[in-house]
Structure 1
Amino acid sequence: MDYAIYTQFFVAMLAIVNPFGLLPVFIGLTSDQSLVERRRTAMMASFASAVILWVVLLLGESLLDFFSISVSSFQVAGGVLLSFTALSMLQGKLGETRRTTEEGREAAHMNSVTLVPLALPLIAGPAAITTVIVFTQAHHTVMDKGALGIAIALLGLVTWGVFLCAPMLARWLGTTGINLITRVMGLIMMALAVEFMAKGLKGLFPALAG
């Protein structure tokens, strides 16, 4: 087993999901909930997002085959998507690729925010889904998928823990601290985007590989 690959996947997913960057959003969406309700929302949103990513892990390859999309093409497209999200994060923003202004207004009037918009698209957003599919394409054995599934479970636990401590962490980190973490995560995501695009372009145009 190549543990370095699984560690890279976990770090990449942690950077993409960026639960610390979601703290203000989580607090805002659960501001009218009691402590018990907020804890339940944190648990259910984290679990639901993990389930979504597990489904993508199992069915991602089939979806690409169904639409006759090559791995290289998806890597380039995924790299472009990640780069847009990363640019937004480098500016300390949540990113319109994860939630539009209209979706934010709609969420403010929803009774339950557990599945939408918390689990999808804020946690298990397009960038996270793309990353899961790309890694699955390169590491598609049963053992690989099992390890990637464990990494997704760990990501869900980390997200749950961050959300449980949301008020305390938000006060401790402050706006500056959250923005700093978001920018660092954005830098990691940008590097990952470049890596995806480079591999995809080499696959589409073998001459680029020398």
Structure 2
Amino acid sequence: MNDSIAFALLCFTSFFTLLSPLNVMPIFMTMTADMEPDIRHQTARKAVAVSFFTLILFAFAGQLIFKFFGITVNSLKIVGGVMFFLMGQDMLQARLVKTKIAEKEIKKYASDISVTPLAIPLICGPGAITNAIVLMQEAESLLNKSILILAVLLVCLITFIVLRHSSKLFRVLGETGNNVLLRLMGLILMVMAIEFLVGGAKPIIRDIFRISQG
């Protein structure tokens, strides 16, 4: 039982850190600033739902999917790093704040951003996907597998609650406060991007040199 409690704490803390709802919140607030509350809530709900099912899918079938398509976690980190860097650059210049959407395009825009970049890679990034695969491999018993699924569900619910009520914080911060927070998160996002890029590229470069030297 103690092992199960320890595993549950590991699952919850690792997924909460990797999904990082508080870090996603300012990006979500900015990208949905021109939306009606109902559409904003639908966007949050879809983004979290996509994140949940993506994590569960990779947890159970991640290794098979990677082997079938010849994908490596390192490649996934590099792609996620590039996307993070480009988005962080826009955020650092507060470009997303100025985004205006035509009324007839709002639903399509909401549908687009709910999957990418909100669900993937912001909420459910390479780190979270890798974490799901690794923890599922360690969860040998049915109890631990159930704990893993419940931990992912709980973190996703917390993320949805944070995003759903983000507009209240948006009003408290105001445009100036949001711009400051946006630039700060943009800087953090670009640092995360470099970490992903370096973490993904380092093993690949090592393999290349080992092959060339052989």
TM-score by length of 1: 0.69
Distance (Å, rounded) in 1 between the aligned partners of 2:14 and 2:106:
40
Distance (Å, rounded) in 1 between the aligned partners of 2:28 and 2:16:
22
**What is the SS of the residue equivalent to 2:71?**
coil
Distance (Å, rounded) in 2 between the aligned partners of 1:125 and 1:73:
15
Residue 56 (structure 2) aligns with: 58
1:72 aligns to 2:74 (yes or no): yes
1:156 aligns to 2:160 (yes or no): yes
Task: Report how far residue 193 of structure 1 moved.
Answer: 1.5
CA contact (8 A) 1:45 1:119 kept: yes
What is the CA RMSD across the aligned residues, in angstroms? 3.2
Consecutive unaligned residues of structure 2, counting only runs of 5 or more, are 1-6, 138-144, 209-214
**What is the SS of the residue equivalent to 1:185?**
helix
User: Larger helix proportion, structure 1 or 2?
Assistant: 2
Partner residue of 2:25 out of 12, 19, 33: 19
1:157 is aligned with what amino acid?
I
Residue identity over aligned pairs, in percent, reads 22
CA contact (8 A) 1:74 1:134 kept: no
Moved over 6 A (4+): none
Judging changes above 3 Å, is the alpha-carbon distance between structure 1 residues 134 and 94 closer, same or farther for their aligned structure 2 residues? farther
Larger Rg, first or second structure (1 or 2): 2
1:80 is aligned with what amino acid?
V
Matches within 5 A, 1:98-117: 105=101, 108-110=103-105, 112=107, 116-117=111-112
Task: Report how far residue 88 of structure 1 moved.
Answer: 1.3
TM-score by length of 2: 0.68
1:124 aligns to 2:96 (yes or no): no
Consecutive unaligned residues of structure 1, counting only runs of 5 or more, are 31-37, 96-100
CA contact (8 A) 1:75 1:134 kept: no
